[in-house]
Amino acid sequence: MNYKVVLSILGKALLIEAALMLVPLLVGVYFNENSYLSFLIPMAGLFVIGAPLSAIKTKDGSIYAKEGFVIVALAWIVLSVVGCLPFIISGEITGFADALFETASGFTTTGASALDSVEGMAKSIMFWRILTHWLGGMGVLVFILAILPTAGAGLMYVFRAESPGPSAGKLVGKMRHTARILYGIYVVLTMFEALLLLLGGMSFYDAVLTAFSTAGTGGFGVHDGSIAYYDSVYIEMVVAAFMFLFGINFNIFYLILTGNILKALKSEELTVYVVMILTASITIALNILFTLDSITNFWQAMRYSFFQVNTVSSTTGFATTDFATWPALSKGILLFLTVIGASGGSTGGGMKVARLCILARSAKANIRRMTYPRAVVSVKFEGKTLSQETERGVLTYFILYIAIACVCTLILSFDIGGVFDNFSATLACISNVGPGITEMVGPMASYAAYSPFSKILLSFVMIAGRLEIFPIIILFVPRTWKKG
C-alpha cells in the first residue's frame, strides 16, 4: 500500500470540499442569512487537516488497483462525515445520524431523506444539501482529476473505482482530459436544463437546484412536494427528459459530439435502456388507467407513468404522485427498475443495464456450453468479446449486491417496519434511488422513523452502492493495508 499517495490525494479532496463550501456560504450572504459559522468552521477544519496531507511528497507516485479502491472509499466516507457538519452547526439537523444520512444521501445521489419537511430550511443550507448531489453525480475525485494537475501514474484506477458501470475507459489519451470532457458535458447539460426550467416559470434559485438534483440523478427537492409542487406538465416533462439523458452512458454524448452518431445509436446498452423505459411506461400507464379512479385518460396515465419510470430507472427519486399506492403490477415493475437502474457510465445508480445484458448473455452462453460441451462459446457485448474476468466480475457484483441487500434487510427488521418495507428501503439505498415502493419509505414519506443505528447502516449502504461495492469491501480487508 502506497500510504503517502493515498493521504496526498485524500488531502486534496478535503481542500476541494472546503473550497466548495464557499459557494453556499456566498448564497447565505446574498440572502442575508446568519449561516456563516455553519460553513466557516468545517472549512477551517478541512484546511487545517487537508493542507498538510496534500503537501505530502513521495518519490513513488504510482497508484495501483488497491490504492485506487482505498482512495475512493476513504474519500467518500470522510467527505460525507465532514459534509454533514453544516447541517449540525446550523441546527437544521440536530442528530449526527440524521445529518450523516442526509449528507451520504446527497453525495451518493440517493435522495433518501431523514427529514419530514424541508420547507423552512435556510437557503444556504438547502443549497449545500443539493450541491452534494451535483458533485456526487459525476464523482468528487473525477472533479479533482479534471481541475488539478494531479501527478502520478495509475490515476485510471481512481477513475475506474469511482465511475459507475462494469467498465470505465479513457475517451482520449490522458486521464485528466477524459475527466474534463465528462465534466464539460455534465456542466452544459445542467445549464441547459436550468435554462429550460427558468422558461417554465421556476425561480432562478429553484431552477438551478432542480437542475443540480436532476444532473446528479439525486432527487432532493426544494419543496416538500418534490416536482409535484409546481403542478406543471411542462416542468415535469423537462425534468423527465433530462432524467432520461443523465441515465445514458456519457460516452454516447461524446460520440455524438465527435460526429460518430451512427456508432452512438448502435449502442446495445442504449437500445435496451430505451426499450425498457418505453415498455415500462406504457405497461404502467395501462395498469393505472384501468385500476385508479383518479386517472381519467391514457395521456394523463402516461404523464405520471413516464415521469415515475424515468425517476426510478435513472435512480433520481423525484416524484409527481405517490406511486406507493399504485397497483401491485406497477410497483413490481418499479421495483425491477430500482434494481437495474441506469446505464453504465451515467450519473445513475442501480446494477446498470450493461450488467443486466452481460448476465443474460452469460447465462445463455453457459446453458449452451452445458448443451454442447465441445463448442467454443463466447459472450459478446457492444461488439466486443468479453473476457472471463469481466464475466466473473459482473457475477461477483450481482452476488454481493443481493447478499448486502438481504443482510441489511434482516438488520433493519430488528428496528421497525415489515420485511418488505425494509427490503424496499435497502434496495432504494443500495441502488441510490431514494424513495422505496412502500408507503413507509415511499415518495411522500421519509426515513425519519428509523433508529440512528439503522440510518448510519443505510448511509454506508448508500456509499457502497454508489461506489459499486468493491471499494468499500476492499477497504475493510486486512490484507489491503499491508505494504507492498
Give DSSP secondary structure letters for 439-463: TTSSTT--STTS-HHHHHHHHHHHH
Please give the residue that has the higher pLDDT: either 61 or 303.
303
Cβ-based burial of 96 (10 A; exposed 0-12, middle 13-18, buried ≥19): middle
Question: From CA 9, how far away is CA 109, in angstroms rounded?
Answer: 22
pLDDT of residue 461: 95
For the chain, which residues make up each domain, given as ranges?
Answer: 1-162+450-484, 171-446
pLDDT of residue 6: 84
Please give the residue that has the higher pLDDT: either 22 or 174.
22
pLDDT of residue 94: 87
Question: From CA 225, how far away is CA 354, in angstroms rounded?
Answer: 33
Q: Please state the rounded mean pLDDT for residues 278-306.
A: 92
Across the chain, mean pLDDT equals 88
Cell of 405: 441487500
Cell of 436: 422505496
pLDDT digits (tens, 9 = 90+) for 120-144: 899 999 999 999 999 988 877 777 7
At residue 475, does pLDDT exceed 90? Answer: no
At residue 104, does pLDDT exceed 90? Answer: yes
pLDDT digits (tens, 9 = 90+) for 186-215: 999 999 999 999 999 999 999 999 999 999
pLDDT digits (tens, 9 = 90+) for 399-444: 999 999 999 999 999 998 889 999 999 999 999 998 999 989 988 8
Q: What is the largest CA-CA distance in the chain?
A: 75
At residue 239, does pLDDT exceed 80? Answer: yes
At residue 26, does pLDDT exceed 70? Answer: yes
What is the pLDDT confidence band of residue 168, given thresholds at 50, 70 and 90?
Answer: very low
pTM more than 0.85: yes
Cell of 148: 488539478
Q: What percent of the chain has pLDDT over 70?
A: 92
Beta bridge partners of 384: 381
Look at the chain and count its residues: 484
Which of 45-54, 57-66, 159-168, 385-394 shows the lowest per-residue confidence on average (mean pLDDT)?
Answer: 159-168
Question: From CA 399, how far away is CA 454, in angstroms rounded?
Answer: 23
pLDDT digits (tens, 9 = 90+) for 311-355: 999 999 899 999 999 999 999 999 999 999 999 888 888 899 999
Question: From CA 195, how far away is CA 207, in angstroms rounded?
Answer: 8
If we measure between CA atoms, which residue out of 47, 63, 64, 43 comes closest to residue 55? Answer: 47
If we measure between CA atoms, which residue out of 352, 319, 377 comes closest to residue 166? Answer: 352
- DSSP-based three-state secondary structure for 385: strand
Question: From CA 106, how far away is CA 120, in angstroms rounded?
Answer: 18
If we measure between CA atoms, which residue out of 324, 166, 309, 132 comes closest to residue 249? Answer: 166
Question: From CA 127, how far away is CA 462, in angstroms rounded?
Answer: 21
At residue 151, does pLDDT exceed 50? Answer: no
Q: What percent of the chain has pLDDT over 90?
A: 56
Are the C-beta atoms of residues 211 and 202 closer than 8 Å to each other? no
pLDDT of residue 335: 93
pLDDT of residue 331: 94
Question: From CA 322, how far away is CA 319, in angstroms rounded?
Answer: 7
Question: From CA 437, how far away is CA 448, in angstroms rounded?
Answer: 16
If we measure between CA atoms, which residue out of 372, 456, 344, 470 comes closest to residue 408? Answer: 456
At residue 55, does pLDDT exceed 50? Answer: yes
If we measure between CA atoms, which residue out of 43, 79, 84, 27 comes closest to residue 222? Answer: 27
pLDDT of residue 293: 84
Q: Which whole-number Å values give the CA distances from 379 to 251, 373, 393, 449, in the listed order?
A: 22, 16, 14, 46
If we measure between CA atoms, which residue out of 207, 171, 167, 174 comes closest to residue 191? Answer: 207
Q: Please state the rounded mean pLDDT for residues 77-106.
A: 94
Cell of 239: 425534468
Which of 17-21, 46-50, 80-84, 147-151 shows the lowest per-residue confidence on average (mean pLDDT)?
Answer: 147-151
At residue 22, does pLDDT exceed 50? Answer: yes
Q: Which whole-number Å values give the CA distances from 306 to 170, 227, 249, 365, in the listed order?
A: 33, 14, 20, 34
pLDDT of residue 164: 58
At residue 173, does pLDDT exceed 50? Answer: no
Cell of 81: 462525515
- DSSP-based three-state secondary structure for 19: helix
Cell of 335: 421495483
pLDDT of residue 190: 95
pLDDT of residue 68: 81
Orientation angle between helical segments 155-162 and 65-83, nearest 10 degrees: 50
Q: Please state the rounded mean pLDDT for residues 82-107.
A: 94
Cell of 477: 480487508
pLDDT of residue 145: 66
